[in-house]
Structure formats: C-alpha cells, structure tokens
C-alpha cells in the first residue's frame, strides 16, 4: 500500500492506494465498442469539447500506444512497471498503468498532446449539462470498471480493454472510461506532488466518492507507479478536428 493525499475544497485526507500490479485477465464484455471499430485503442482519437478550446482523448492511453512510444525511442520502458500492463503485449488494448507522471507526460507528447489539466478533465467529465457523473446524475457501480478490495468490480481486481464497457461513456459523447478503469494523471503538480483524477478498478471506499465529476482530487509523488493509475491526454483544439476522427 502507498500513501495518497486527497484534497477537497477545505480539507486534506490521507488515503491509501493499491500498489499491486493489475491481475492478468480477459475482459468479459465481448460486445464492446472497441471491438466494433468505433474506437481504436492503437491510435489517438480526439474528441473536441463543444464549448472550450481543447480536445481530449476518447480513451485512456493504452499499453499498445506506450509500447509504440518505447519502440520509437520517445518513451523509456522503465517508466512503466513491467509487472503491470506494460510488460504484457497481450494487453495492448488495456490502459497503460504503473506509469510515472513524467512517463505519462512523454507518452502524451508522443501522441500529439499533453496531460490534461484538472479544469479540462472536469469539463470533459461533466459534459455540456454539468453532470455529477460522466454517464448521468447518479452513481452506477456497474457502469464502469470500478471496485475496491472489499467489493471488486465484475471484472475482478484488474483493468479491462478501453472502451469495452459502452455504459461508461460521457460526459462528452465519445469519451470512454473517464469514470473508471484507471485513475488518470493530471498536469497539475506542486513540486513532486501531482494530482490524478477518476475512480479505478481498485479504489478506496466509498467508490462513488471518487467516480464522479466533483472537484475532488487525489495524488502522490510524480514517481509513483501504481496499478490503479494511468493517463489520458488533452491538446489544444485543432481547426479541422471532427468528433470521432482518429488523428496522431
């Protein structure tokens, strides 16, 4: 276990984050959006925010993208623990996890973007109708891959392929898993302390407290490599971007 600081509007609590690598397993959702070709987990798909000047990746950064970045010499393999998804090419469609903050930033640069700021991430999570959760107004534990030690998700204590749970979409249409799978590093840092947002396959209870779009955050030192933490990228809006268009 590793200490994690949680910061709310008026107080700071001390939490603990699971450091165990993700268990190897196969996602049970066979009728997946990714399998249907709506989202590619190998190339970056960018979704523009309709009211703000940025775009966000449709999925969390994947193991396949990280391995391509390493092959291109733009990422270092040591920045992601090989005992987690990065060490298993068979999990190319899963989010890269156990990756450091700096490693995540390099991966985003390779994909043509950068780590999201908290403001961007929250805007994408809330969508255009200020949702409490990316998929609606109330927490639904079965919508995304979220769980805890005491109450694992249907997939168990493991990640699943990105975009493989169609109900885990929103707040912007075409954005998947922002409410689960892995927490996501933010660009917000103070010295060596950096934030991450969103619930994960293994989250502290109450899980719903972390799975929403409220301005709550947790974080740790930038060198943390946790099975529960990965990345999603943002970039400034490009003039010709169309929702659902794959661009690198």
pLDDT tens digits for range 205-241: 889 988 999 987 688 999 999 999 999 999 998 754 3
Q: Does the pLDDT of residue 5 top 50, yes or no?
A: no
Instruction: Give me the residue label for tokens 């989202």.
Output: 39
Instruction: Give the confidence band of 14 by pLDDT, cuts at 50, 70, 90.
Output: very low
Q: Does the pLDDT of residue 25 top 60, yes or no?
A: no
At 24 the pLDDT is 34
- The reported pTM is 0.83
At 1 the pLDDT is 39
pLDDT tens digits for range 169-210: 999 999 999 999 999 999 999 999 999 999 999 998 889 988
At 220 the pLDDT is 94
Domain at 46-236, CATH from 1.10.3720.10, 3.40.50.880, 3.90.1580.10, 1.10.357.10? 3.90.1580.10
Q: State the average pLDDT over residues 9-22.
A: 38
Q: State the average pLDDT over residues 42-52.
A: 92
Tokens representing 188 are 């917000």
Phi and psi at residue 39, to the nearest 5° = -135, 135
Nearest to 179 by CA among 219, 208, 220: 208
At 69 the pLDDT is 97
Q: State the average pLDDT over residues 22-34.
A: 33
Residues in the chain: 248
Residue 186: C-alpha distances to residues 26, 31, 83, 198, 217 (Å): 28, 31, 23, 10, 10
Q: Does the pLDDT of residue 6 top 80, yes or no?
A: no
């Amino acid at each position: 276990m590793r200490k994690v600081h949680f910061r709310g509007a008026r107080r700071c609590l001390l939490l603990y984050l699971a450091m165990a690598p993700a268990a190897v397993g196969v996602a049970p959702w066979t009728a997946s959006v990714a399998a249907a070709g709506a989202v590619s987990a190998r190339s970056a798909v960018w979704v523009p925010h309709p009211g703000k000047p940025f775009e966000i990746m449709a999925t969390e950064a994947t193991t396949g993208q990280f391995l391509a970045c390493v092959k291109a010499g733009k990422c270092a393999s040591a920045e992601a623990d090989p005992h987690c998804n990065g060490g298993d090419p068979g999990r190319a469609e899963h989010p890269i996890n156990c990756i450091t903050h700096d490693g995540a930033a390099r991966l985003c640069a390779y994909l043509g973007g950068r780590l999201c700021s908290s403001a961007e991430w929250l805007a994408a999570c809330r969508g255009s109708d200020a949702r409490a959760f990316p998929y609606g107004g109330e927490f639904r534990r079965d919508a995304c891959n979220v769980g805890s030690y005491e109450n694992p998700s249907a997939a168990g204590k493991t990640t699943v392929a990105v975009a493989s749970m169609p109900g885990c979409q929103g707040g912007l249409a075409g954005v998947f898993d922002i409410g689960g799978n892995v927490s996501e590093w933010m660009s917000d840092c103070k010295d060596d302390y950096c934030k991450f947002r969103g619930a994960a396959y293994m989250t502290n209870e109450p899980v719903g407290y972390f799975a929403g779009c409220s301005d709550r955050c947790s974080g740790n030192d930038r060198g943390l490599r946790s099975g529960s933490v990965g990345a999603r990228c943002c970039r400034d809006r490009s003039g010709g971007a169309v929702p659902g268009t794959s661009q690198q």
